[in-house]
Structure 1
């Protein structure tokens, strides 16, 4: 279930706010400049290719390209049996920023985006049909869990794709990880 948890930076293990209401999630994230949408379901086989996935969501992807100036879209997928899953997880677990919006639409599976705003950290468990657009310059990190299972459409303004600037902050290691927040509502 799509879930937003809000933690206080100085008490990351303490009680925190949790909501699963899509409108509350949308409004709460919008107040921080984060775009959150839920797109209609498209039934695709598990073996769908990048081309088939992009074709199924062509209207939505084109709308975002026109609206936001994105130049490219691709599909990223990771499964629990991928031999480099641990290395990929570790790569995204450190707080970082980008010089462009980070946009992900979950075609299947789920993943946890952490967004750091001042003294609060918003943890958004995204799942199938969720779109998140993290504004450029926003401090954040991503946790796919120890057994990742997701496929996402990514949109970029920079043709080079994912380029991160790591903050060097340790905050990501102080908050509950995917394992603790998966299924929390």
Structure 2
């Protein structure tokens, strides 16, 4: 279930607040300028092609493009049998920012976004049908877990796609990882 946990930077091992209430999640994220929505379910097979996924969510994607000025959309998918899964996970585990909003819509599976605002870190477990838009310049990182299973639509203003500026802060290493939050070994 979609879950928002809030951690204080001074006590990163224990969440001071946890909620699964969608309205509360939306409100708490909106206070930080983060967009959170849940789109209607579309019945697609786990192995649906990028074209099929983009066709199924055509109206929603085009609406976001028109509203926010996004130029491109693509689909990223990762499964536990991917031999590069550990390298992909490491790539996103360090705190970074972007010069454009980072938008992800979860078609299937789940992943954990960490958003760093001042002395607190918001950890959002996104699941199927969740859309998150992290504003440009927001310090954040993403943890897909040791056995990733997700498919996301990504929207970009920059046609070159995902470009990160790493902060060098070690905050990501001090907070619980995906396994601890989800309870996986």
TM-score normalised by the chain length of structure 2: 0.98
Using the alignment, how far apart are the partners of 1:135 and 1:15 within structure 2? 23
Q: Match for residue 90 of structure 1?
A: 90
Using the alignment, how far apart are the partners of 1:179 and 1:14 within structure 2? 14
Q: Match for residue 19 of structure 1?
A: 19
- SS for the counterpart of 1:14 is strand
Q: CA deviation at 1:14?
A: 2.8
Aligned residue-pair number: 184
- SS for the counterpart of 1:59 is helix
Check if 1:122 corresponds to 2:122: yes
Q: Match for residue 181 of structure 1?
A: 181
Using the alignment, how far apart are the partners of 1:33 and 1:105 within structure 2? 17
Q: Taking structure 1 as reference, are residues 126 and 15 closer, same or farther at Cα in structure 2, changes over 3 Å only?
A: closer
Q: Match for residue 105 of structure 1?
A: 105
Q: CA deviation at 1:15?
A: 4.2
Q: CA deviation at 1:155?
A: 0.1
TM-score normalised by the chain length of structure 1: 0.98
Q: Deviations over 1:104-158 (max 9, x none)?
A: 0000000000000000000000000000000000000000000000000000000
Q: Match for residue 8 of structure 2?
A: 8
Contact 2:5 2:15 in 1 (8 A): no
CA RMSD after TM alignment = 1.0
Using the alignment, how far apart are the partners of 1:47 and 1:90 within structure 2? 24
Q: Taking structure 1 as reference, are residues 34 and 56 closer, same or farther at Cα in structure 2, changes over 3 Å only?
A: same
Flag structure 2 segments of 5+ consecutive residues without an equivalent: none
Moved more, 137-146 or 14-23: 14-23
Q: Match for residue 140 of structure 2?
A: 140
Using the alignment, how far apart are the partners of 1:174 and 1:80 within structure 2? 25
Using the alignment, how far apart are the partners of 1:15 and 1:163 within structure 2? 30
The correspondence of residues 31-180 of structure 1 with structure 2, limited to 5 A, is 31-180=31-180
- SS for the counterpart of 2:12 is coil
Using the alignment, how far apart are the partners of 1:23 and 1:114 within structure 2? 19
Could you list the runs of 4 or more consecutive aligned residues of structure 1 that deviate by over 3 angstroms after TM superposition? none
